Amino acid sequence: MIRKVSVAPMMDCTDRHERYFLRLISKNTLLYTEMIVSEAIDRGDKKKLLSFNINEKPVALQVGGSSPKLLANAAKLGEEFGYDEINLNLGCPSKKVQKNKFGACLMKEPDLVAECLSEMQNSTNLPVTIKTRIGYDDIEDYENLYNFITKLKNTGVSKFIIHARKAVLGKFTPKQNLNIPPLKYDVVYKLKKDFKNDQVIINGGITSTDQIQEHLTKVDGVMIGRAVYHSPYFLAEIEKNIFNNNNVLTRQEVIESLIPYIKKEISNGTQLNQIMRHTLGLFHGQTGSSFWKRYLSENLCVRDADIKKIDHIMDKVKLAPQAHSVG
């Protein structure tokens, strides 16, 4: 199934609480986990790393690694835990990731990537997909990208998520790598022309439903990261304008619907701030947004935040839109 809009994998952002919260706003988008390293899945607490609330579905598990055996194991476990897709990260440029040989530096090793993808597909019936960049360092000619994607396609992969920037390895920080290399959407459009029967999803710098509509005339789907994290209610606009779904919750209703989840999670040992931190941007662009942020920062996004404060939150939500003088 083609998902026209997805929310990007983002470390420290798209954890299970964020995904539960986003799903209250959007029924039609595909959500991705943060990257989870295959070695951690092998050695660590699998339940802690992989379990999620069924209401979050559809969810894709993004994994990082370069060991065919460990990635195959991660894919198999991903299916057992109920994920809908397994995605291999071939785009992360951080130094730590390079040292461990995964992420964008794997663009230099197409044979190894192909072996990983083959093993992953042998171990799961779920779609195995990749997320990569248009190039790296001085290697930014289209031919190289075309050959890379062809090699991966030959293993059976048929969905390619392309961040329309190259990665600059070793020189730029991860943050610089998200902003400095220029976006080249044309390269991704060309890829779709050359891989007509495959799904090509475009990513990078998408911030409005007009831009989404425009991209959807050229590629199969868009993936959005920061614009959703900083302003989660952007997803409501996407539901309305892209999916013709007018049955979306108001911001207040989103918080109301989140409260039973929060109470249940807290009774299972989750810290309140682990959930609430994701809601800081809910009122982004609204009068009273800074009031909301301040209330959260002072009361609910602190360590050992008091659960009782949750019961006052609805009053604060009602107050927030008028509270511009306080913010």
Ligand X SMILES: Cc1cc2nc3c(=O)[nH]c(=O)nc-3n(C[C@H](O)[C@H](O)[C@H](O)COP(=O)(O)O)c2cc1C
74 binds ligand X (CB under 6 A): no
Identify which of residues 208 and 250 has a Cβ nearer to ligand X in the complex.
208
Q: Which two tokens stand for residue 283?
A: 């009122």
Please name every residue paired with 60 in a beta bridge, in sequence order, or none if there are none: 32, 85
Identify which of residues 32 and 283 has a Cβ nearer to ligand X in the complex.
32
Crossing angle, helix 234-243 and helix 209-216, to 10 degrees?
40
Cβ–Cβ under 8 Å, residues 327 and 290:
yes
22 binds ligand X (CB under 6 A): no
Identify which of residues 225 and 288 has a Cβ nearer to ligand X in the complex.
225
92 as an active site residue: the answer is yes
- Scanning 69-77, 89-97, 114-122, 250-258 for contacts with ligand X by CB under 6 A, the matching segment is 89-97
Interactions with ligand X, residue window 215-254 (CB under 6 A): 224-227
Burial annotation 162-172 (CB, 10 A radius, 16+ → b, else e) = bbbbbbbbeeb
Q: How far is the CB of 250 from ligand X (least distance, A)?
A: 25
Q: How far is the CB of 302 from ligand X (least distance, A)?
A: 21
- Scanning 5-13, 42-50, 108-116, 282-290 for contacts with ligand X by CB under 6 A, the matching segment is 5-13
92 binds ligand X (CB under 6 A): yes
From residue 28 to residue 57, what is the string marking binding to ligand X with x (rule CB under 6 A)? ------xx----------------------
- Scanning 48-56, 66-74, 87-95, 298-306 for contacts with ligand X by CB under 6 A, the matching segment is 87-95
From residue 156 to residue 195, what is the string marking binding to ligand X with x (rule CB under 6 A)? -------x--------------x-----------------
Identify which of residues 94 and 299 has a Cβ nearer to ligand X in the complex.
94
- Scanning 2-10, 48-56, 65-73, 261-269 for contacts with ligand X by CB under 6 A, the matching segment is 2-10
**Number of residues located near ligand X, criterion CB under 6 A:** 22
Q: Which residue has the tokens 């072996």?
A: 115
Q: Which two tokens stand for residue 301?
A: 């996004």
Residue 40 amino acid letter: A
107 binds ligand X (CB under 6 A): no
The set of catalytic residues is 92
Residue ranges that bind ligand X, judged by CB under 6 A: 8-11, 13, 34-35, 62, 89, 91-92, 131, 163, 178, 203-206, 224-227
